[in-house]
Amino acid sequence: MRKLDWYILKKFFVTFFFCLFLFTVIAVAVDSSEKTDNFVKSGLTTVQLIRQYYLGFVPWIWSLLFPLFVFISVIFFTSRMALRSEIIAMLASGVTYNRILRPYFIGGTILAIMLWYGNRYFIPKANVIRSNFQTNYVDKGDPTLNRSFVSCFNCYYLRTDSNTFVGIKEFDTATKRARGFFMEKVRGDKIIYNLRSSVIQWDTTNKKWTLYNAVERKVDSMGELIHHYDTLPINLSVKPVELRKDDYLKDKLTTPQLVSFIKQEELRGTEGLNTLKVERYRRTATPASVLLLTIIGAIVAGRKTRGGSGFHLAIGITMAAFFILSDRFSTVFSTKADFPPFIAVWLPNIAFTLIALWLYRKAPK
């Protein structure tokens, strides 16, 4: 690390954290104005709102806009260096263009590692705080999320293994009790086992499910066998915590927990896992985009132009907009269609890597 590295890195980090602080203040101001009614209805004090909401909201907005913060900060301080002919002076003194890009690469790598680690462990914990407030005070008053005409809001139809299907009706998360249950086992195109009960209850002591007024039917080559039980304990590979519709589940799980949950759901044959897989791969692809946008920003803003910083910022914001749009498009195609999640998440990075290589070749050296 030479003086040149420390000089650029200092400007990089100072500008980045200033942008982070500035955009955070703006985001909090806008969000608080939108949720004023929810804050008043919650009855929470200012300190309680900070602890129960903004301690989760601020890290979430950081993770969401982190690459954009990096990109804008790089373009801003590099364009000022180019405007003062510092880049030209460096090249004229015999410093190679690759040598100038080295501190950018180091700074981008440090920030990418910070975001990668945060996405895996810290941001999900913050999302627990934010999502709990959203669920308790915001989503309850949203008519689009609480429709009265839903026939069975707490009904679940699960596949516990390759040939076993389970249905649970009207499950109460507080009492861990449901008013209807059935389980069927299938072999080929025939049902060989059927179990039904009017009530299913989670036994907190034994950590098992208990059926009440159960009827068991077994079908084999000899015919059908029927048994009636007043109570019947069963081993069911479904826990009460899984019987809850949680729109924020993918955001609240740490990466190891998310990977484990996806594997479990795949073993059960659950469909529609692309949303979870996109979130899993996004936590690695977004830090990679931080490093990529750092290099692109340095190349774009390193050229001295008549427009100065304003021209560079206009180009940077346009490129950032295209990057975000391409990321959203590929994500939607994956979650709503059959586009592979891994390719959908990494496709914008691949496309902008090609753009970065083209800009690098065209950059004055």
Q: If you write DSSP's letter for every residue of 99-161 in order, what string do you get?
A: HHHHHHHHHHHHHHHHHHHIIIIIHHHHHHHHHHHIIIIIGGG-TTTS-TT-S-TT-EEEEEE
Chain segment 293-338, per-residue pLDDT in tens: 999 989 888 877 766 667 777 777 787 778 878 877 888 878 777 7
Question: Considering the domain boundaries, does residue 147 fall inside one?
Answer: no
- In terms of domains, do 86 and 164 share one? no
327 C-beta neighbours (distance < 10 Å), count: 22
Q: Does pLDDT of 56 surpass 90?
A: yes
As a residue count, the chain comes to 365
pLDDT of residue 149: 36
Question: Considering the domain boundaries, does residue 97 fall inside one?
Answer: yes
- In terms of domains, do 128 and 173 share one? no
| Contact between residue 100 and residue 3 where contact means Cβ atoms under 8 Å apart | no
- In terms of domains, do 204 and 344 share one? no
What lies within 8 Å, CB to CB, of 33 at 6+ separation is: none
| Contact between residue 127 and residue 251 where contact means Cβ atoms under 8 Å apart | yes
Residue 192: burial class (beta carbons within 10 Å; 0-12, 13-18, 19+): middle
pTM, full prediction: 0.80
Roughly how many angstroms between the first and final C-alpha of the chain, as a whole number? 22
What is the rounded CA–CA span in Å between residue 57 and residue 14?
23
Q: Does pLDDT of 14 surpass 80?
A: yes
pLDDT of residue 142: 60
- In terms of domains, do 21 and 101 share one? yes
- In terms of domains, do 34 and 85 share one? yes
- In terms of domains, do 43 and 93 share one? yes
Task: With H, G, I as helix, E, B as strand and everything else as coil, classify residue 94.
Answer: coil
- In terms of domains, do 79 and 180 share one? no
Place of tokens 């990089």: 12
Residue 182: give the domain boundaries.
156-244
Chain segment 237-290, per-residue pLDDT in tens: 788 877 766 778 888 899 999 999 888 878 777 777 888 899 999 999 999 999
What is the rounded CA–CA span in Å between residue 43 and residue 53?
13
What is the rounded CA–CA span in Å between residue 359 and residue 355?
6
Domain count, the chain: 2
- In terms of domains, do 351 and 304 share one? yes
Q: Does pLDDT of 158 surpass 90?
A: no
Paired strand residues for 161:
164
Q: Does pLDDT of 148 surpass 50?
A: no
| Residue among 76, 43, 53 at smallest CA distance from 312 | 76
Residue type, 72: I
Per-residue buried b or exposed e for 334-346, using 16+ beta carbons within 10 Å of the residue's own CB:
bbeeebebeebbb
Percent of the chain with pLDDT over 90: 32
Helix axes 341-362, 274-301, angle to 10 degrees: 10
Mean pLDDT of the chain: 85
Q: Does pLDDT of 104 surpass 90?
A: yes
- In terms of domains, do 43 and 94 share one? yes
- In terms of domains, do 99 and 161 share one? no
Joined tokens for residue 124: 């999900």
What is the rounded CA–CA span in Å between residue 143 and residue 14?
44
What is the rounded CA–CA span in Å between residue 354 and residue 357?
5
Question: Considering the domain boundaries, does residue 8 fall inside one?
Answer: yes
User: Hey, what long-range contacts does 20-26 have (CB within 8 A, 24 or more apart)?
Assistant: 20/62, 20/69, 23/61, 23/65, 23/69, 24/58, 24/61, 24/62
What lies within 8 Å, CB to CB, of 119 at 6+ separation is: 63, 255, 282, 283, 284, 286, 287
What lies within 8 Å, CB to CB, of 172 at 6+ separation is: 154, 178
* pLDDT tier at 151, thresholds 50, 70, 90: very low
Question: Considering the domain boundaries, does residue 186 fall inside one?
Answer: yes
120 C-beta neighbours (distance < 10 Å), count: 16
Q: Does pLDDT of 208 surpass 60?
A: yes
Question: Considering the domain boundaries, does residue 199 fall inside one?
Answer: yes
- In terms of domains, do 76 and 182 share one? no
| Contact between residue 83 and residue 304 where contact means Cβ atoms under 8 Å apart | yes
- In terms of domains, do 34 and 71 share one? yes
Question: Considering the domain boundaries, does residue 150 fall inside one?
Answer: no
Task: With H, G, I as helix, E, B as strand and everything else as coil, classify residue 318.
Answer: helix
Question: Considering the domain boundaries, does residue 258 fall inside one?
Answer: no
Question: Considering the domain boundaries, does residue 255 fall inside one?
Answer: no
What is the rounded CA–CA span in Å between residue 182 and residue 348?
45
